[in-house]
Structure 1
């Protein structure tokens, strides 16, 4: 059986060997068509692009569109096996709800918030 301090040190080295990624996410919302355009751009610590994504999805509000952008950024990072990620978005309501500084009151956002929170477990280090 391995010693606890050796296992802890091994996990520290494994963590440092895992690259830190920054994921920028944003959205635009078109109320007339009830459509959101979302974008994700990921860079490594040396500012090299490692991934990007842009898609169009149905949405009913600006905040819903931003949640969809955050969720898709998290899914892309998970699919690419990135475990240490800093997510950067520009809608403070969404960021503060995801960091639990604010509660989610709107019914249409509660399910999206829960989807995002469930994805947080996929990361060993995650910040907004």
Structure 2
């Protein structure tokens, strides 16, 4: 979830103007909002999430306390590979998240069959990431999905249409799963070198090297 703070600032001589912050994480927004209140110059402060719902400060405090015990600040890196000679695919995902004041990294890959292109393998990798979020009990928050596939990122962003039926079906399946989990997806396109972990996992899956693991980051 992202929070925007909106408030009216009043000067000593009574002049007023309205300020609006950028989107902030809930904890960051709460810290800023409390600091603004201490000035004694703010009124009509409103905390607004990305769904245009408003929050009271005490409600946001309760929410922050609750999510500390659940995975949050989640980023999912995904990559899919397709071997045209064998018609086999490899999927790789890396998930970074925080829970109970600690940071974690989860890595997983999987071979896949029945796919027909690299683009479909990329979609299958993204879907694998969403399934893993369900297993981690990630829900009702904003999650970043990061990959190097222009096709997948731009189609999931709605910037490109999905004319191919197979790809459109994957997109619909992923959107449906995200809706069920209450997850708001933010998609980011990165160069392949910034997606090296997921790329390596996908290549290992193509070579039938199974990788599954989770560690706490120091």
Within the candidate set 95, 106, 110, 1:51 is matched to 106
When structure 1 is superposed on structure 2, of 83-92 and 6-15 the one drifting more is 6-15
Q: Partners in 2 of 1:97 and 1:33 — Cα distance? A: 27
Could you tell me whether the CA contact under 8 Å between 1:85 and 1:123 is conserved in 2?
Answer: no
Q: 3-state DSSP class of the match of 1:44?
A: strand
Gaps of 5+ in 1: none
Q: Aligned in 2, Cα 1:11/1:106: closer, same or farther, shift over 3 Å?
A: farther
Q: What is the TM-score normalised by the length of structure 1?
A: 0.82
Q: 3-state DSSP class of the match of 1:117?
A: helix
Q: 3-state DSSP class of the match of 1:114?
A: helix
Could you tell me whether the CA contact under 8 Å between 1:98 and 1:116 is conserved in 2?
Answer: no
Off by >6 Å, runs of 4+ in structure 1 = none
Partner of 1:103: 161
Q: What is the TM-score normalised by the length of structure 2?
A: 0.50
Q: 3-state DSSP class of the match of 1:94?
A: helix
Within the candidate set 75, 80, 89, 1:36 is matched to 89
How many pairs does the alignment contain?
125
Higher relative contact order (CA closer than 8 Å, sequence separation 6+): 1
CA RMSD of aligned residues (A): 2.7
- CA deviation after TM superposition for structure 1 residue 89, in Å: 0.8
Q: Partners in 2 of 1:104 and 1:51 — Cα distance? A: 30
When structure 1 is superposed on structure 2, of 8-17 and 81-90 the one drifting more is 8-17
Aligned: 1:20 with 2:70: no
Select the structure of larger CA radius of gyration. Answer: 2
Gaps of 5+ in 2: 1-54, 188-218
Q: Partners in 2 of 1:55 and 1:124 — Cα distance? A: 23
Aligned: 1:119 with 2:174: no
Structure holding more helix per residue? 1
